Amino acid sequence: MNIRICLPGIVSVALLAVLMSCNPAEKYYTVSDFQRTPKIDAHFHYLTRDAQYMHLASSLNFKLLNPNWDGPSSIDEQLAISVAVQNSFPHEFAFFGTFPVDSFGKPGFTSATIARVDDCIKAGASGIKIWKNIGMVLQDHDGRYVMINDTAFSALFEYLEKKKIPVMGHLGEPRDCWLPENEMIDPGAVTYFREHPQYYMYLHPEAPSYMAQINSRDSILHRYPALDFIGAHLASLEWSVDELAKTLDKYPNLKVDIAARMNPVQYQSAINRAKVRDFMIKYQDRIIYGTDFEVHDEPGLDIEKVKSNLQQGWLDQWIYMTTDSTLGVKGLKLPAAVIDKIYYKNAEKYFR
Ligand SMILES: [Zn+2]
């Protein structure tokens, strides 16, 4: 605007056009910026009290957000670990708590759930995670699958919205989950669903469809417009940046993390790199970097190997996002200002 005031109209328009086309201020990161650039992995499962992985993360300028989830690993133990790690690393570690659904349908479920949310927040949680067991596993006493937009959860969502408690929702699964193996776009999905056939919905046609999962989540976004909602795993719309863009446009309160969905992103960018790159730039304020990497205790575990895998995994994704190098697929080379938002600024508020 200052330029317009200082110069005659036509010159200023021409100058602006030049500025926009060559964009001399556009900066890019390189591989060598990886270590020193502040970063957040906003979807990292920290399931051990061992501080070594925090030390590794800190040495690479990574902060970690640990979303607790109502899966096979005890949620009380996850909470206890989260509190312990946060006490040791108050500025570098944050977590989202979660709640059990064992007593769903019994009297007192809502009040117990809200009490659990309060306990998590008092313990230091920055938000609450909701997992795919709702929609894909939990059934009511008539054997019907319970979806996230079930009225039994209304009071909970009203509470979360009113108290401005952020929610991370891993609802549904990649669309691959409902497809035969030869139609899947993510080779990782083939492996995952072979190992977890109970979650491979192609084998369970009696369970709710892919669109039923998406629609029930969307109805939460519609009903609670002030809810700070992170759609984990690209909001289960990983297969199409076009579909994801439509959903982001429709629900201004939605943000998404990329955790464990780099493969479908790369699948799309190998076909149309400009489209995926434009998507990342357009929605730079609403995309959050995360990996879904996990660390845990295990007898005989080669900890050095785990650490080097973590570092390599983070570095490979950095190279894809920040450079145009080809590691399997040509990188997106996003501008540094966009990287700073995706890798740090968009998740910064979840940390102390
Ligand atoms: Zn996860």
- What pLDDT is attached to residue 9? 42
Ligand 1 centre to CA of 310 (Å) is 15
Kindly state whether residue 23 falls inside one of the protein's structural domains.
Answer: no
Q: Which helix (H) or strand (E) holds 296?
A: strand 294-296
Instruction: Compute the distance from residue 318 Cα to the ligand 1 centre, in Å.
Output: 19
The confidence score (pLDDT) of residue 97 equals 98
Domain tally, the chain? 1
Statement: residue 4 has pLDDT above 60: no
Q: How far is the CA of 182 from the centre of ligand 1 (A)?
A: 25
- Report pLDDT digits (tens) over 199-251: 899 999 999 999 999 999 999 999 999 999 999 999 999 999 999 999 999 99
Tell me, yes or no, whether 342 lies in a domain: yes
Q: Is residue 16 part of a domain?
A: no
Question: Cα of 129 to ligand 1 centre, how many Å?
Answer: 10
Q: Where are the alpha helices (DSSP H) in the chain?
A: 2-6, 9-22, 52-59, 75-88, 109-122, 133-136, 154-162, 187-195, 210-223, 232-235, 241-250, 262-271, 273-282, 303-322, 336-343
For the stretch 137-169, pLDDT in tens is 999 999 999 999 999 999 999 999 999 999 999
Does residue 4 form part of some domain? no
Q: Is 19 a domain residue? A: no
Digit-coded pLDDT (tens) for 63-115: 999 999 998 899 999 999 999 999 999 999 999 999 999 999 999 999 999 99
Position 23 pLDDT exceeds 90: no
pLDDT digits (tens, 9 = 90+) for 314-326: 999 999 999 999 9
12 occurs within a structural domain: no
pLDDT for 36 equals: 97
What's the gap in Å between 66 CA and the centre of ligand 1? 9
Residue in this structure with the two tokens 């609802």, named with its chain if needed: 171
Distance 292 CA to ligand 1 centre (A): 5
Average pLDDT of the segment spanning 110-128: 98
Tens-place pLDDT, residues 181-193 = 999 998 888 998 8
Enter the pTM of the model: 0.91
Distance 67 CA to ligand 1 centre (A): 7
Cα of 293 vs centre of ligand 1, distance in Å, is: 8
CA 44 to ligand 1 centroid distance, Å: 7
Please give the residue range of the domain that contains residue 181. 28-350
Structure confidence at residue 14 (pLDDT):
46
Q: Looking at residue 85, which CATH number applies to its domain?
A: 3.20.20.140
pLDDT(350) > 60: yes
pLDDT band at 17 (very low <50, low <70, confident <90, very high): very low
Which amino acid would we find at residue 249?
Answer: D
Query: Which of 68-72, 97-101, 123-127, 258-262 shows the lowest per-residue confidence on average (mean pLDDT)?
Result: 68-72
In a domain, 107, yes or no: yes
Q: Look at residue 243 and tell me if it is in a domain.
A: yes
